[in-house]
Amino acid sequence: MTLRDKLRQSILKFLKLDKLGENPNSDRFTFIGDPEDIIKRKLQEFKVWYYGNSDELLNFYTAMETYGNYKEPIYNRNKQNYFWGLSADECKVKRVHSGMPKAIIETLTNIVGMPNITCEQQETLDFIIKKTKLTNIINQKQLPMTLALGWGCFKPIIDKQVCKDSPLVEWYNADDVEFVVKHDVIIGVLFMDYYYYQDKDYVLVETRRVVNGDSRIEYKLYRYEKDNSVVEVELDTIPDLADLSKDGLVIKGLDKILAVPSVFFYDMNNKNYGRSILDGKIDLFDDLDQDLSQASQTSRVSTPVEYYPVDLLERDKFGRARTPQIYNRQFIASNSYPNGDGELNGDIRTTQPNVNFNQYNEKVLSDINLILTGILSPATLGLNIAKDDTALSQREKEKVSVMTRNNILDRQQVIIADLCEQLLMLKEFMETGTISIKEYDIGVKFSEFANPSFEDKANLLSQMFGSGTISPEMYVDKLYGDSLSEEEREKEISYLVEQQQKDDNIDLSEFENEGTITEDSNIERAEQENIDELEY
């Protein structure tokens, strides 16, 4: 029985079902032999495109051409004609990888930015964040890998041998975690850790779930056999795992799974998990690399060709002509022949083909625009921005990026808040052995993106506030956003209200003494003092 079969059994056991809820007679499975194998290979494909290494891409598609496509020959018909697959059999081909998948994901990671996490127990939380290096894990692992693969999971852990005064956190990629879902709710999470011990491969499956209102952590160790099947063995088979209890760990009264799944986008074909930001774009990535590779090859073959008389070249000790060693220049030997006067022709002639490179450039730009559709604005990557663009027009071009970012932030704020809450609970559990606080008021805020500068907003809002178009509360909210604490916000609003009242109650006594009060000023004063009638 394979590892996936074992995991499937565990999932069915949790769900108390005899079979999975997906209809095996669906038209989608007509030409699919193993849906789980397809999901696994998709994850590998997304990962290798994200890594952005041409050698890794060539290695992956060579393996797919060798045996991968034949496991699902009908489903993988299109992949059999990929540039990276077809060129795998070619030796003298320079394959150019654009790096666009990695650029997209890293750009999204950068514009999401670093989270600012706050709560009432700020000192304790800051201590945990520092110990776990949480912000690094979020921005270097969780955010980019969730975008690339579609899902992943945080695993809060207690390991007093590594850190005795704080819980830790590990990140698991999509191919190392399984979710147990019922009624669209995750009721269990399975983590896989792989070990190599005494020439044998093992996998530790750690299950986290809630049973009768208690949070449970359970462990099972499996050994891989030669036929890729697995056999369950004792935990102490590997000495480093001997300290793990077979019965696992139980935290009484904690009705929460000690795991934080990370999913940004819904996947219709894999509804219990998530969708990669690269999904549906791999065909275009392959086209882009093909066009860049063709342009590179065209540039190479368009190198000037020189025809030289062999008699003019130096000779080695064997009498063979020495060809000039200059990078990427092609030389063709031509025979010397006498002209009408009996003189030998010793000229060196140079030829160069006329190649239209614009067609490749236009195709590359077209590919890039199609790739970015629905994900990012080209302006976010620094593309197609005219030199005379104003700040406003550039911000208009960022709308697609802003919408993608907002979708990510909506989920990211919930994920990070849930993770920090679990870490605070485990911190208390490490110190007292119990958990008394199960909910924390945690705030997660991110910086603004593609918005007007502070100076531009201040100029516009000041005019609106001065004319009475907006209230002091709206002025503060629009100008400062989430950058102020509640106390600072209230103080700023009170100051504006006070200044507004001063402007409305101008002291006119000095003008009265000089007899310079106009009719309009008297009327205005009368209205302010609620005088029904003023004698002139």
Top pLDDT among 349 and 174 is at 174
* pLDDT digit string, tens, across residues 151-206: 999 999 998 888 889 999 999 999 999 998 888 889 899 999 999 999 999 999 99
Question: 359 phi and psi, to 5 degrees?
Answer: -65, -35
Specify the DSSP class assigned to residue 393: H
Sign of CA dihedral 520, 525, 528, 531: negative
| Alpha-carbon span 220 to 530, nearest angstrom | 82
Structural domain contains residue 274: no
pLDDT of residue 407: 93
Q: What does the mean pLDDT of the chain come to? A: 81
Of the listed ranges 1-10, 212-221, 359-368, the one predicted with least confidence: 1-10
Question: 16 phi and psi, to 5 degrees?
Answer: 55, 50
- Can you point out the beta strands (E) in 225-275? 230-233, 249-251, 260-263
| Alpha-carbon span 31 to 23, nearest angstrom | 14
Asked if residue 264 lies in contact with residue 411, where contact means CB atoms within 8 angstroms, the answer is yes
- Average confidence (pLDDT) over 367-387: 81
* pLDDT digit string, tens, across residues 260-270: 999 999 988 88
Asked if residue 472 lies in contact with residue 481, where contact means CB atoms within 8 angstroms, the answer is no
Top pLDDT among 438 and 48 is at 48
Domain range for residue 337? 303-352
Structural domain contains residue 311: yes
Asked if residue 95 lies in contact with residue 296, where contact means CB atoms within 8 angstroms, the answer is no
pLDDT of residue 504: 66
Structural domain contains residue 85: no
pLDDT of residue 488: 86
Structural domain contains residue 482: no
| Alpha-carbon span 222 to 225, nearest angstrom | 10
And the tokens for 83? 């540039």
And the tokens for 321? 């002509």
Q: What is the pTM of this model?
A: 0.78
- Average confidence (pLDDT) over 296-309: 75
Among residues 398, 380, 383, 376, the alpha carbon closest in space to that of 452 is found at: 398
Structural domain contains residue 159: no
Crossing angle of helices 358-372 and 100-112, in 10° steps, is: 40
Q: How far is CA 458 from CA 454, 461, 487, 502, 509, in A?
A: 6, 5, 21, 21, 34
Top pLDDT among 479 and 443 is at 443
Asked if residue 409 lies in contact with residue 445, where contact means CB atoms within 8 angstroms, the answer is no
Q: Which residues of 204-214 are buried (b: 16+ CB within 10 A; e: fewer)?
A: bbbbbbbeeee
Specify the DSSP class assigned to residue 315: B
**Identity at 61, one-letter amino acid code:** Y
* pLDDT digit string, tens, across residues 393-409: 566 667 888 899 999 99
pLDDT at 328 over 80: no
And the tokens for 330? 């092609």
pLDDT of residue 517: 43
66 Cβ partners below 8 Å, 6+ apart? none
Q: Count structural domains, the chain.
A: 1
Residue 455: exposed, middle, or buried by beta-carbon count in 10 A (0-12, 13-18, 19+)?
exposed
| Alpha-carbon span 50 to 108, nearest angstrom | 13
Structural domain contains residue 348: yes
| Alpha-carbon span 155 to 171, nearest angstrom | 6
pLDDT at 344 over 90: no
Among residues 277, 296, 275, the alpha carbon closest in space to that of 54 is found at: 296
* pLDDT digit string, tens, across residues 216-256: 999 999 999 888 888 989 998 999 888 887 778 889 888 89
Structural domain contains residue 61: no
- Average confidence (pLDDT) over 17-41: 67
Structural domain contains residue 337: yes
178 Cβ partners below 8 Å, 6+ apart? 7, 11, 189, 190, 192
Please state, for a pLDDT cut of 70, what percent of the chain lies above it.
79
Asked if residue 303 lies in contact with residue 326, where contact means CB atoms within 8 angstroms, the answer is no
